[in-house]
Amino acid sequence: MKISDKIALSYTSVIVGIIAVIAIVFYIVATLWLNNLTQSYLPEGGIAMPEESRGYEKIIIYGNQIKQTIGWMLCALVAVSSILIYWAGKHYSARMIERINTSYQSEKAFVRSASHELNNPLTAIRGECEITLLKERNPVEYQIALNRILDETKRIIRLMKHLLFLSRGDEDILQNTVEPIFIAEFLRQFEQSRVGYSPDRFSFVVNANPQLLKIAIENILSNALKYSDDKQVYIRLRMNVLEIEDRGIGIPVDELEYVFQPFFRGSNTRGYAGHGIGLSLSLRILNAYGAEITICSEPDKGTRVTIIFP
């Protein structure tokens, strides 16, 4: 027997048991009430004339028929309830098991991808150490090797920080210090030669942690700059809507729905460095503060990320 059937049977037995108890209590109460009602038609002393006796017999017959009708109706109610509850329980348990299985598979994929991403810099460090130790080298060569090891170590540390942050829930994120942020002024820190910023005169305020909000926007902006090569990137703010647009390689249409998944990288990004964590990290932070994020993209034409603050 499937586990969904077992769950449905257990759920059905409990609920139908409760309904059956209620039905039995109702039947007993209704029977007692009908008996009392029937007794109320008896003449005082229990002695009745023949005509009255025939009327009383009819009352008793009608009372018994009503009892039987109530009994059959309650039995039908329990039977129909059993079928409906079993069907609903099976449907619900199947959906629940599917969601658990999907979460489990997603967690397995996450662990597998994280292991792969962590293995790459560790392998590079090990290889660099082994090559360096093959023979005596001059100080400059040792310094170059140590710098390479340092870069890979920083890569591991950055990746671990992102992974730890992704493992945190929204409540943990919201526990960080929140303060009012004038978003128009806040975005000026991202201005540079390749980033054009068009602010809004409206002083819109966002309640968030400045460091976390900076990480969220910086990840999106760094992707736009990376995948645009030397082209310009634009930041536009209108009221509570922030847009970050580039003229880069874009995202294939059939891959747009996966861009926020950890470690996902587009099929056209093989020549670019990265882990595929930035967007998922930005989504986690922005959603925690009630903001919505959407992506509109077209291959070889560019990408526009829209953030709507609450």
- Domain end point (choices 66, 89, 104): 104
**pLDDT single digits (tens) 194-250:** 888 888 777 788 888 888 888 889 889 988 888 888 889 999 998 889 999 999 888
Q: Taking residues 254-283, report their average pLDDT.
A: 80
- Indicate if 32 and 62 belong to the same structural domain: yes
Q: What CATH number corresponds to the domain at position 155?
A: 1.10.287
Q: What CATH number corresponds to the domain at position 299?
A: 3.30.565.10
- Say how far apart CA 173 and CA 177 lie, in whole Å: 9
Task: Lowest mean pLDDT of 116-125, 167-176, 287-296, name the range.
Answer: 167-176
- Say how far apart CA 86 and CA 73 lie, in whole Å: 20
- Amino acid at residue number 47: I
- Indicate if 209 and 263 belong to the same structural domain: yes
Domain count for the chain? 3
- pLDDT grade for 268, boundaries at 50, 70 and 90: confident
Residue carrying the six token digits 């009352």: 59
Residues facing 244 on adjacent strands: 235, 305
> Residue 10's domain spans which residues?
3-104
In sequence order, the 6+-apart residues with CB closer than 8 A to the CB of 293 are 282, 283, 286, 287, 305, 306, 307, 308
- Indicate if 75 and 155 belong to the same structural domain: no
**pLDDT single digits (tens) 63-97:** 778 888 888 888 888 888 888 888 887 778 778 87
- Domain end point (choices 138, 169, 200): 169
The answer to whether 281 and 218 are in contact (CB under 8 A) is no
- Domain end point (choices 65, 81, 104): 104
- Indicate if 195 and 79 belong to the same structural domain: no
- Indicate if 151 and 211 belong to the same structural domain: no
- Indicate if 85 and 147 belong to the same structural domain: no
- Indicate if 180 and 301 belong to the same structural domain: yes
- Indicate if 208 and 283 belong to the same structural domain: yes
Q: What are 185's two structure tokens?
A: 């002024």
Q: Taking residues 6-33, report their average pLDDT.
A: 81
- Rama region for 263: left / alpha / beta (φ>0; ψ in -120 to 50; rest): left
Cα atoms in the Cβ-side hemisphere of radius 13 Å centred on 241: 7
Is 48 a residue whose pLDDT tops 60? no
Cα atoms in the Cβ-side hemisphere of radius 13 Å centred on 66: 15
- Indicate if 96 and 122 belong to the same structural domain: no
- Say how far apart CA 65 and CA 184 lie, in whole Å: 80
* Nearest of 254, 261, 301 to residue 278 by alpha carbon: 261
pTM above 0.85, yes or no: no
